[in-house]
Amino acid sequence: MKKSGSFTFQDLRRIRALGLSRRDVEKQLALYEKGPAFLSLVRPCLPGDGMVSLAPGMRKTLLARYEADAARYRLLKFVPASGAASRMFAAWYAAAAKGGFGSASADAAFYKKLKKMPFAALLARNPAVRDDLKKRHTAGLLDYVLSARGLQYGELPKALIPFHAYPEGEIRTAIEEHLVEAAGCVRDARGKCRIHVTLSPEHVEAVRAKIKAVKACYEKRFNVRYAVDYSVQAPQTSRIAVDERGHPFRSGDGQLVFRPGGHGALLENLGALEADLIFVKNIDNIVPEPLWEKVLPYKKMLGGLAMDILQRVFTMLRELEAKAISGADLDQCAAYCRRVLCRVFPAGFDGFSSARKRKTLFSALNRPLRVCAVVRNEGEPGGGPFWVEGGDGTQTLQIVESAHVDPDDARQQEIWRQAAYFNPVDMVCCIRDFKGQVFNLKKFVDEKAYLISAKTEKGRRLLAQELPGLWNGAMAYWNTVFVEMPIATFNPVKTADDLLRPQHQAAGGKKSVKA
């Protein structure tokens, strides 16, 4: 087989087909050789130290600000939804392979749970599965839920899994509940709700078809108009996999294996959006309508806080650019950066000349903004808010995952264990500068925050690389504001059993709103 260096001509054609160059792939391989570059944690963020805990009066003020001024902004709801439901049903798949859950009592517990699932009515009304229900035939029920013989949930995106069942028989999927939430928080002055959904390529048409089928119903019910668009991770964000010796991993037929670059690849998708305030929330963190009154005010409060910060920051940037700012005003600007944006300035900053202060402050303020909800950590897997020290000694606020912390550094592990708060991925992003231009988001990425993890491919072990995560290293040099929120605002569905949490069963206790 003909070769060009370490790659065959066939390899190079595959690399080019993904939109990559040979040099791109060589850089990826070099990162495997280098290994992960861990972050340096200083301390966890706490209320008053890197985190805002808003008093009830301020919450009301920000909520009122959002409701009064939202019409002046171009709003958008951004829903990362590439997750497949196969992981959600992993335990059910394992049981299906064994013909059951291992004992009569475990099978009985499964049947009891199944009757409370939001899709239980779909089973009961189907003659093809009625006999399995009557006989409590675990293997048959699992096969019907997971396979193409029945509901096919094991092959669907999480967006299309029923999350909530309402008393009048309505069953809503996760993506439908996001449509409903959008009507409550991103409606503009003309009643338009703009939503952007990111998906795996194989799921786009199915999700598009579902939204097309239900869109008119929800538009009529909530008196809105939906504008929904979709995108997928760009092929050029794919990362080459390697074997345990660091050599390019190849499939059984000799092809190079590339894997998706993780949610950090969505930075390109985010940067292409036309919006002033972008509300980001994962597909599986959504509540039924009876909990709206508990959750939506907090989302609007985040939006109100983002509006307030943007207005103040843009005013300061215009003054700094025009150099129409006194020494006292420079000091007030610096105080705002420290107090609100938790900006740590270089040593000796207070003694800088006015010109140098202006330049430093302009750089500190002229960057994307994210206002992030954080909740008390009650054992959910995921990242949390920390103060992180960079290589130049500066400190910034970051959302850190466990994989970013050196497992062999006892002190760093101790700081990690002290974390009291968790990142629920519920944030408002502002990606336009004070002149209305979209920032080049790649300029604010910590390229060293990539991840390397062990995976398997048809039983063979490999190492996979991920780009700096979207709300981790990809936003490392944004201005960040962490806001403490009640745990009631975080309602994830990572496994099928999570649908049995009281929050997700709440839909059965109250009829849905018909506006």
User: Would you say 194 and 77 are in contact if contact means Cβ atoms under 8 Å apart?
Assistant: yes
Determine what percent of the chain is predicted with pLDDT higher than 70. 98
**Confidence check: pLDDT of 373 > 80:** yes
> Which pLDDT band holds residue 510 (cuts at 50, 70, 90)?
very low
Question: What residue ranges define each of the domains in the chain, with the CATH number in brackets?
Answer: 1-34 (no CATH), 35-82+159-230+238-490+503-509 (3.90.550), 91-156 (no CATH)
416 and 405 in contact (C-beta within 8 Å)? yes
What is the average pLDDT across 147-176?
94
pLDDT for 470 equals 95
Paired sense of beta strands 50-52 and 46-47, if any: parallel
At 283, is the secondary structure helix, strand, or coil?
coil
Average pLDDT, the chain: 92
Mean pLDDT of 464-478: 95
Residue 16, Cβ neighbours under 10 Å: how many? Answer: 11
Question: Which comes out higher in pLDDT, residue 378 or 512?
Answer: 378
d(CA 28, CA 453): 14
**CB-based contacts of 13, cutoff 8 Å, min separation 6:** none
Give pLDDT, residue 153. 94
Calculate the alpha carbon distances from 380 to 423, 454, 490 in Å: 10, 22, 10
**Strand partners of residue 128:** none
Q: What is the pLDDT of residue 368?
A: 98
Predicted confidence (pLDDT) per residue in 430-458, tens digit = 999 999 999 999 999 999 999 998 888 77
Mean pLDDT of 130-138: 87
Residue range 364-373: average pLDDT?
Answer: 97
DSSP-derived letter for residue 187 is B
How sure is the predictor about 135, in pLDDT bands with cuts at 50, 70 and 90?
confident
Kindly state the average pLDDT of the residues 233-246.
Answer: 92
User: What is the dihedral angle through the alpha carbons of 194, 198, 202, 203, rounded to the nearest 10 degrees?
Assistant: -50
Instruction: Show the tokens assigned to 358.
Output: 């202006």
Asked if residue 183 has pLDDT above 90, the reply is yes
Position 378 pLDDT exceeds 90: no
Nearest Cα neighbor of 370 from 277, 286, 437, 285 is 277
User: Is 329 a residue whose pLDDT tops 70?
Assistant: yes
Q: What percent of the chain has pLDDT over 90?
A: 81
Using 50, 70 and 90 to split pLDDT, how confident is the model at 293?
Answer: confident
Residue 277 — pLDDT band, cuts 50, 70, 90? Answer: very high
Give this prediction's pTM: 0.93
CA separation, residue 270 to residues 202, 231, 338, 403, 475 (Å): 20, 10, 28, 24, 11
Higher confidence at residue 381 or residue 337?
Answer: 337
pLDDT digits (tens, 9 = 90+) for 391-424: 888 899 999 999 999 999 999 999 999 999 999 9
pLDDT at 506: 86
* Cα–Cα distance, 457 to 107 (Å, whole number): 31
pLDDT at 125: 84
Q: What is the pLDDT of residue 252?
A: 86
- Tokens 């338009």 appear where? 192
The yes-or-no verdict on residue 22 having pLDDT over 60 is: yes
Mean pLDDT of 165-180: 95
Confidence of residue 380 (pLDDT cuts 50, 70, 90): confident
What is the per-residue pLDDT for 391?
81
For position 4, what pLDDT does the model report? 36
pLDDT tens profile 71-128: 899 999 999 998 889 889 999 999 999 999 999 999 999 999 999 999 999 988 888 7
Residue 100 gets which letter from DSSP?
S
Q: What is the pLDDT of residue 134?
A: 85
Which of the four pLDDT bands, split at 50, 70 and 90, describes residue 156? very high
User: What residue type is assigned to position 426 of the chain?
Assistant: D
Flag whether pLDDT at 511 surpasses 50. Answer: no
